[in-house]
Structure 1
Amino acid sequence: MEIDATDRRILTSLQKDGRMTNAELSEQVNLSPSACHRRVQRLEAAGVIRGYVALLDERKMSRPTTVFVEITLSGQADEVLDAFERQVARIPDLLECHLMAGTADYLLKILARDTEDFARIHRQYLSRLPGVAQMHTSFALRTVFRTTAIPV
């Protein structure tokens, strides 16, 4: 799918405020409401826009502690990777899991209430993950910058 400058303006605006009305969006991107609506529908149908979400405040949800966990597996065989990925996807406190190139095989991002809560997560879930050889945990002291917007 070809994404032109108008599509980019639409995507930029929707990433800032996915709840704006079509009338507001069409005004921001300088299109008629019907043309704007057709473009948004095309972007949705093509999967460029995957969905719309509400971004929650971690502190107000009592999850102020961001923890990064680097995991090195005992091997790289498909069975080891598949087993790990199936189990890690079941961790309810997990926000992200990335297969990495570098010193660790996987990088996890977890939200916890505090260090005691992370100890619970570690005990109930992380310590039971299959194929883990090493695990290194880092606690974020402060988030300096964060965005969900993809550069368009």
Structure 2
Amino acid sequence: MSLDHTDRAILRLLSANARLSVAEISEAVHLSATPTVRRIKRLEDAGIITGYHAHTAPAGLGYTLSVFVAVSMDRHTAERFSEFERQIAEFDEVVSCSVVTGRSEDYLLKVVVKDMRHYEEFLLSRLSKIDGVAQLHTSFELREVFNRSAV
């Protein structure tokens, strides 16, 4: 799907604040309500807009420590990867999980925890116990510079 300047402006607005009304979006992109609604619907139908949700601040919920964990698997089989992904999706602390290349590790996780004790429990009692996890490498986030949707 080809996106023009107006489509991209709508995406930027909704990414920054999904609670904007159609009237507010229309005014910002200099369209009337009907074509604005049509464009939003087209972006949804194309799978570019995949949902609307509230962004939460982990620190506000007591999760003050963010950790990147690089995970190496013992075997590279579809079954092993699928089972790991199924299990990791069940951990509330894992806020993102990506298969990566260009490193010796297979996955890169972003994990949020309350403190170092919480991370130790997560690492030793849950993450490292998943079948197939061969090696873990932890990096602690000092400060998030920004976090945004791809637009």
Q: What is the TM-score with the length of structure 2 in the denominator?
A: 0.93
- SS of equivalent to 1:27: helix
Q: Percent of counterpart pairs with the same letter?
A: 37
Runs of 4+ in 1 over 3 A off after TM superposition: none
CA distance in 2, matches of 1:80, 1:44: 33
| Distance (Å, rounded) in 2 between the aligned partners of 1:149 and 1:90 | 23
Residues 78-97 of structure 1 correspond to what in structure 2 (within 5 A)?
78-97=78-97
Q: Which amino acid aligns with 1:3?
A: L
The reply to whether residue 69 of structure 1 matches residue 66 of structure 2 is: no
Q: Where do 1:1-152 residues align within 5 Å?
A: 1-101=1-101, 102-143=103-144, 145-151=145-151
- SS of 1:137's partner is strand
Letter aligned with residue 112 of structure 1: V
Once structures 1 and 2 are overlaid, which stretch shifts more, 32-41 or 105-114?
32-41
1:121-147 CA distances to partner (integer Å, 9 max, x unpaired)?
A: 11331121111111111111222x122
Cα deviations by residue, 1:39-92 (Å, 9 ceiling, x for unpaired):
111111221100111111121110010011111111112222122222212212
When the two chains are superposed, the root-mean-square deviation of aligned CA atoms in Å is 1.3
Listed as ranges, the gaps of 5+ residues in structure 1 are: none
Q: How many residues align?
A: 150
